[in-house]
Chains A and B, each alone.
Chain A
Amino acid sequence: MNGKLTWILAICISIFFAGCVPKQTYYFGNYSKTLYALEKYQNEETLIRHKQELEKIISESQVQNLAVPPGIYAELGYIYLKENKSKEAVTLFETESQLYPESKHLMDRLIQSAKAKESSDTNVSNISTTATDNSDSK
Chain B
Amino acid sequence: MKKSTYWLYGILIVLFMSACAPTMSTKSSEFPLMYEENPVTILILPPMNESTAADAKEYYSTTIQEPLAFYGYYTFPYPITADILKMEGIYDTELLINTPLAKFKEYFGADAVLFTTIKKWDLSYMVLASTLTVSVDCQLKSTTSDQTLWKYNGTVVVDLSGGNTGGGVAGLIAKAIVTAMSTAMADYVPYARQANYRALASMPYGKYHAQHNKDQQVQFIDQTPETSDSPNANPTQ
Q: What's the count of A-B pairs with C-beta under 8 Å?
A: 114
Q: Mark A63-93, 1 if CB is under 8 A from B, else 0.
A: 0000001111011001000000000000000
Which residues from chain A contact B197 at a C-beta distance below 8 Å?
Answer: 22
The SS class assigned to the A binding surface is: helix
Task: Determine whether A125 belongs to the interface, using a CB cutoff of 8 Å to chain B.
Answer: yes
The distance from the CB of A74 to the nearest CB of chain B, in whole angstroms, is 5
Q: Given A19, A25, A36, which contacts B62 in the complex, CB threshold below 8 Å?
A: A36
Q: Given B5, B19, B65, B111, which contacts A19 in the complex, CB threshold below 8 Å?
A: B19
Q: Mark B168-187, 1 if CB is under 8 A from A, else 0.
A: 00000000000000000001
The answer to whether B66 touches A31, judged by C-beta atoms less than 8 angstroms apart, is: yes
Q: Given A22, A33, A100, which contacts B209 in the complex, CB threshold below 8 Å?
A: A22
Task: Determine whether B156 belongs to the interface, using a CB cutoff of 8 Å to chain A.
Answer: no
**Which stretch, B24-32, B69-77, B125-133, touches the partner chain A?**
B69-77
Roughly how many angstroms separate A16 CA and B74 CA in the complex, as a whole number? 28
Task: Determine whether A44 belongs to the interface, using a CB cutoff of 8 Å to chain B.
Answer: no
Which residues from chain A contact B70 at a C-beta distance below 8 Å?
Answer: 22, 24-26
> Interface residues, chain A, CB within 8 Å of chain B?
1, 5, 8-9, 12, 15-16, 19-20, 22-26, 28, 31-33, 35-36, 38-40, 69-72, 74-75, 78, 100, 102-106, 109-110, 125-128
